[in-house]
Structure formats: structure tokens, C-alpha cells
Chains A and B, each alone.
Chain A
Amino acid sequence: MKNFKINHRTISWLDVLDLHGELDAHTASQLEDSLKLLIDSNKSNIIVNCRELEYIASAGLGVFMAYIEDVRVSGGDIKLTNMNERVYNVFDLLGFPTLYDILDDERDAVEKFSSEV
């Protein structure tokens, strides 16, 4: 079975989750745990960097759907960056680009968060 891994780091006041591998109904709980942990510690400015994310199924998208409202209510956001074309395509098929900030590069997300303060 291929691995799915999440690495957490911070860029000043922003939290960044780096996703690696394949995000499906088996691995989605790991992402759910990581997001919950951040939200429970009142972290609501989150960048999810998908540079190393090779695959996503709807179970993965479901995790973002379940938590975005909590984060936005507390004045933050989850911004998604660095998706490969195939991963972006799945988000696009479901209409996510009009509802989520999906940016080409992590730096764009950092700038956008800074301009929103």
C-alpha cells in the first residue's frame, strides 16, 4: 500500500500542512486529525500544500468540506496550493475552485493571507 503522510510546519503566524502520497477513504482520517488538531488549538489560517499529493478521491475533498466553515467563522481560511493537474481536475469537476482559494504556489497563499489581515 502506498503511503500518505502529512508534515506540519509554520511560516510566521500561518500553519502549513504538506500532503504527500495518496489521499483516499483510507487515508482521509489522517488529514481530518491534523486539521482538527489545528482548529482545536484555535489555528485558523491554514495552507495545505499539495505539491507531493499524487492522488485524491472524494473522501479527501470531503475533509475540506467538513472543516472550512469552522475556520472561516473564526476569521481564517484554508488555502490550497501547488496541486498537480490531475489532483486539480478532481477539485474542478466538483466546482471547488469557486468556493475555495486554490493557488498555484504556497507563496501566493502567504501573500493572500497577509493582505487579508
Chain B
Amino acid sequence: MKKTATYHITVEASTRNLAKVRDFVSNHAQAEGFSPASVADLCLAVDEAYTNIIKHAYKYDATQLVKINLEFNNNEICVALTDSGDSFDKSTYVEPDIERQIKDKRRGGMGVYLIHILMDKVDYNTSTDENEIRMYKQRD
């Protein structure tokens, strides 16, 4: 039988809540036995996903909400972030070229890249009124 646990918070889309969101993820992942390195990876991936929602989906409108769901089972954690802003079009995404961006004084694109490196699997789901990113990481 699969042991499962689910935790949930809803937060306003503001960078002020970044530390709170990281703490939420870190506390539960630690309690579920994830290693310090995996907890750090999870926190960074969630930070990047949440920051992208604030910037791109909601364009810094801090009255909007982001739902964050943690689902643990025997094998892995799935972190899902849901928003109702502009959806992320994966087809327009280009991997960052840091050397080039430095010359052009451009930043960006690094969050999505990091999420994909840090997590084992990433899915994007978009319906008419919601976007969801689901990020999976295996237990150590």
C-alpha cells in the first residue's frame, strides 16, 4: 500500500512570500526524509517556478494567488504550483546562453533551465482558466 501525504498553501503572488514558500517546502521535505541536498534542490526549483508566476503569469500583480501543493508517496514528491494568469508557452522557450547574455546585459531564462536540471520530471498543464506546473523528484 502506498503511503501518501499532501500539504497545501495558497499565497499571494509577491516576492515577499518567497522565503515563506521555501520554508514550507523545506520543512515538509525534511520531515519526509529528503536529504539536505534534495531539500535544497526542491526549494530552489519551487522558488524559480513561483518567481516566474509572479513575473510572467501575473506581471507583479500581488493581489493574485498561487496554490502550492506537495504530494509525497513512497517513491517521490510532486510539487504543483497553480496560477490563473498568462500561461507559459514552452515552444517559445530558449535555453539561456549566459556568455551572450552577459555581453548584451540581459538576464532571464535561467529559472526554467534550473527547474529542469534540479527535478526529475516537469509537466505543464494549461486549462481555460488555470496553469499548473508539476515538478517531480525521486526520494534519495
Contacts and interface: CB of A to CB of B under 8 A. Distances in A.
Nearest to A72: B102
Interface residues of B, number: 31
Interface in B90-116: 96, 98-99, 101-103, 105-108, 110-111, 113-114
Contact of B117 (A22, A57, A93, A99): A93
B101 A90 contact: no
Interface stretch (B27-35, B44-52, B66-74, B79-87): B44-52
A6 interface: no
B107 A57 contact: no
B40 A86 contact: yes
Given A1-B19, A26-B16, A93-B117, A57 B47 contact: yes
B18 interface: yes
Interface of B: 15-16, 18-20, 22, 37, 40, 43-44, 47-48, 51, 54-55, 96, 98-99, 101-103, 105-108, 110-111, 113-114, 117-118
B98 A65 contact: yes
A1 B98 contact: no
A62 B108 contact: yes
A86 B47 CA distance: 15
Nearest to B118: A93
A95 B99 CA distance: 9
A24 B47 contact: yes
Contact of A66 (B40, B105, B113): B105
Instruction: Pick from B16, B54, B101 the residue with the most CB of A within 10 Å.
Output: B101
Given A90-B114, A94-B98, A99-B102, A66 B107 contact: yes
Given A1-B20, A57-B18, 14 more contacts: A22-B22, A26-B15, A26-B16, A26-B18, A57-B44, A58-B51, A61-B107, A62-B107, A66-B105, A67-B105, A68-B102, A93-B118, A94-B96, A94-B114
A65 B102 contact: yes
Contact of A95 (B43, B48, B98): B98
Nearest to B15: A26
A37 B40 CA distance: 32
A67 B105 CA distance: 7
Instruction: Pick from B18, B37, B108 the residue with the most CB of A within 10 Å.
Output: B18
Contacts of B108: 62
19 contacts: A22-B19, A24-B18, A24-B19, A24-B51, A25-B18, A25-B54, A26-B15, A57-B18, A57-B48, A57-B51, A58-B51, A61-B110, A62-B107, A63-B107, A65-B107, A68-B102, A69-B103, A90-B44, A93-B114
